């Protein structure tokens, strides 16, 4: 696992393929760290946003939430309740209504792409391991050393 010192993914593509060789592929740890840094280190710092962040395209493939929702499509179609890992456009062509989807539904019913306007892979705090915590702390210190003023809350705080 290799991270940029500032935690920001450079040259992210506009859409990221979430299926490889017919298998669901979670976004890489670099995308998780990018999400955490953009939301929990520099969210309110306009100077840094404009200087650094708006010049780079965020992967936007990950969203951190408190608890996984249930799959909307399984519920709608009478299948057993299944946790949803995806919040994405429920259309093969990538336009139309969004839904929370389990892996099977995402595979069959979405464009299989993640990113801005396409969909996000849902993670909870329990998905964040010690490696991610230390990478986040390093990136946070990096931004503080550059004069950023992060909020007091952190994605690793207990509820």
Q: Residue numbers of the site for Zn ion (CB under 5 A)?
A: 71, 73-74, 102, 105
Closest separation between CB of residue 11 and Zn ion, Å? 33
Q: Based on CB atoms, which residue is closest to Zn ion, 18 or 36?
A: 18
CA–CA separation, 78 vs 142, rounded Å? Answer: 49
Closest separation between CB of residue 71 and Zn ion, Å? 3
DSSP-derived secondary structure letter, 14: S
| Contact predicate 78/85, CB 8 Å | no
CA angle 116, 117, 119 (to 5 degrees): 80
Q: Based on CB atoms, which residue is closest to Zn ion, 84 or 132?
A: 84
**Closest to 112 (Cα-Cα) out of 12, 13, 18:** 18
| Contact predicate 123/64, CB 8 Å | yes
Q: Based on CB atoms, which residue is closest to Zn ion, 41 or 71?
A: 71
Q: Based on CB atoms, which residue is closest to Zn ion, 61 or 82?
A: 82
CA–CA separation, 120 vs 88, rounded Å? Answer: 6
Closest separation between CB of residue 81 and Zn ion, Å? 9
Closest separation between CB of residue 135 and Zn ion, Å? 32
């Amino acid at each position: 696992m290799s991270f940029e010192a500032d935690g920001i993914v450079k040259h992210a593509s506009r859409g990221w393929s979430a299926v490889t060789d017919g298998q669901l592929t979670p976004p890489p740890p670099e995308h998780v760290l990018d999400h955490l840094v953009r939301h929990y280190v520099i969210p309110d710092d306009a100077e840094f946003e404009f200087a650094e962040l708006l010049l780079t395209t965020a992967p936007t493939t990950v969203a951190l939430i408190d608890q996984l929702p249930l799959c909307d499509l399984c519920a709608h179609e009478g299948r057993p309740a299944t946790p949803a890992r995806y919040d994405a456009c429920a259309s093969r062509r990538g336009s139309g209504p969004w839904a929370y989807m389990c892996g099977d539904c995402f595979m069959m019913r979405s464009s299989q792409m993640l990113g801005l306007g396409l969909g996000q892979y849902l993670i909870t705090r329990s998905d964040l391991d010690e490696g991610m915590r230390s990478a986040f702390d390093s990136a946070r210190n990096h931004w503080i050393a550059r004069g950023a003023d992060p909020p007091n809350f952190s994605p690793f705080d207990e509820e």
